[in-house]
Amino acid sequence: MDHFNYQGDQLCAEQVPLRAIAEQFGTPCYVYSRATLTRHWCAFDEAFGERPHLICFAVKANSNLAVLNLLARLGAGFDIVSVGELERVLAAGGDPGKVIFSGVGKRADEIQRALEVGIRCFNVESESELARINAIAIELGLVAPVSLRVNPDVDAQSHPYISTGLKENKFGIDIQAAEAVYRDAAEQPGLRLVGIDCHIGSQLTSLGPFIDALDRVLLLADRLAEQGIRIEHLDLGGGLGIRYTDEEPPLPDAYVAALSERLGERSFEVILEPGRAIAGNAGVLLTCVEYLKPTPTHRFAIVDAAMNDLLRPALYGAEQEIVPVQRLGAGALSSKPSTAPPGDPYREQIGASLVEQGLESTIESAVKQRGERTVEPTVEPTVELYEIVGPVCETGDFLGRARRLALAEGDLLAIRGSGAYGFSMSSNYNSRPRAAEVMVDGDRVYLVRRRESISALFAGEEVLP
Which residues of the chain form CATH 3.20.20.10? 34-276
Q: What are phi and psi of 287, to 5 degrees?
A: -145, 155
Give the 3-state secondary structure of residue 403.
Answer: strand
pLDDT at 189 over 70: yes
What integer is the mean pLDDT of 205-234?
93
Pick the range with the lowest mean pLDDT from 103-117, 273-287, 298-312, 363-377.
363-377
Is the pTM above the cut of 0.95?
no
193, β-bridge pairs:
146
Q: How far is CA 77 from the centre of its chain?
A: 15
- Residue 380 pLDDT: 76
Which residues of the chain form CATH 2.40.37.10? 4-32+280-457
Pick the range with the lowest mean pLDDT from 88-97, 193-202, 273-282, 445-454.
193-202
Distance between CA atoms of residues 285 and 58, nearest Å: 20
List the one residue out of 208, 450, 185, 417 whose CA is nearest residue 313. 417
The more confident residue out of 110 and 249 is: 110
Average pLDDT of the residues of the chain: 88
Question: H-helix or E-strand containing 298?
Answer: none
E strands, 295-397, in order:
299-303, 322-324, 383-389
- Tally Cβ neighbours within 10 Å of residue 292: 19
Half-sphere exposure of 320 (CA within 13 A, CB side): 29
Give the 3-state secondary structure of residue 76.
Answer: coil
Q: Kind of pairing, strands 299-303 and 383-389?
A: parallel
- Residue 200 pLDDT: 83
Query: Using a CB cutoff of 8 Å and minimum separation of 24, what contacts does 452-458 make?
Result: 452/428, 457/428, 457/431, 457/433
Distance between CA atoms of residues 239 and 276, nearest Å: 8
List the one residue out of 119, 177, 113, 173 whose CA is nearest residue 148. 173
Pick the range with the lowest mean pLDDT from 183-192, 358-367, 446-455.
358-367
List the one residue out of 339, 346, 334 whose CA is nearest residue 412. 334
CATH topology of domain 34-276: TIM Barrel (3.20.20)
70, β-bridge pairs:
none
Cα angle vertex 315, ends 26, 33, to 5°?
40
What integer is the mean pLDDT of 253-276?
95
- Residue 45 pLDDT: 98
CATH: 3.40.50.300, 2.40.37.10, 3.90.180.10, 2.30.30.60. Which one for 4-32+280-457?
A: 2.40.37.10
Q: What are phi and psi of 78, to 5 degrees?
A: -140, 135
- With beta carbons less than 8 A apart as the criterion, state whether 341 and 328 touch: no
pLDDT at 376 over 60: no
- Residue 154 pLDDT: 73
Q: Alpha helix (H) ranges present in 165-246?
A: 178-186, 208-226
List CB contacts of 378: < 8 A, sequence separation 6 or more: none
List the one residue out of 282, 314, 338 whose CA is nearest residue 427. 314
pLDDT at 365 over 90: no
Q: Kind of pairing, strands 77-80 and 99-101?
A: parallel
Exposure class string for 129-146: b at 16+ Cβ within 10 A, else e: bbbbbbebbeeeeeebbb
The more confident residue out of 144 and 354 is: 144
List CB contacts of 330: < 8 A, sequence separation 6 or more: none
Distance between CA atoms of residues 256 and 251, nearest Å: 9
Tell me the pLDDT band of 160, cut-offs 50, 70 and 90. Answer: low
Percent of the chain beyond pLDDT 70?
86
Given 29, 42, 121, 393, the catalytic residue: 393
pLDDT at 373 over 90: no
- With beta carbons less than 8 A apart as the criterion, state whether 386 and 426 touch: no
What integer is the mean pLDDT of 226-238?
95
- With beta carbons less than 8 A apart as the criterion, state whether 434 and 26 touch: no
Distance between CA atoms of residues 82 and 109, nearest Å: 10
Give the 3-state secondary structure of residue 21.
Answer: helix
Question: H-helix or E-strand containing 192?
Answer: strand 191-197
pLDDT in tens, 56-95: 999 999 999 999 999 999 999 999 999 999 999 999 999 9
42 as an active site residue: the answer is no
pLDDT in tens, 1-14: 789 999 999 999 99
pLDDT in tens, 123-141: 999 999 999 999 999 999 9
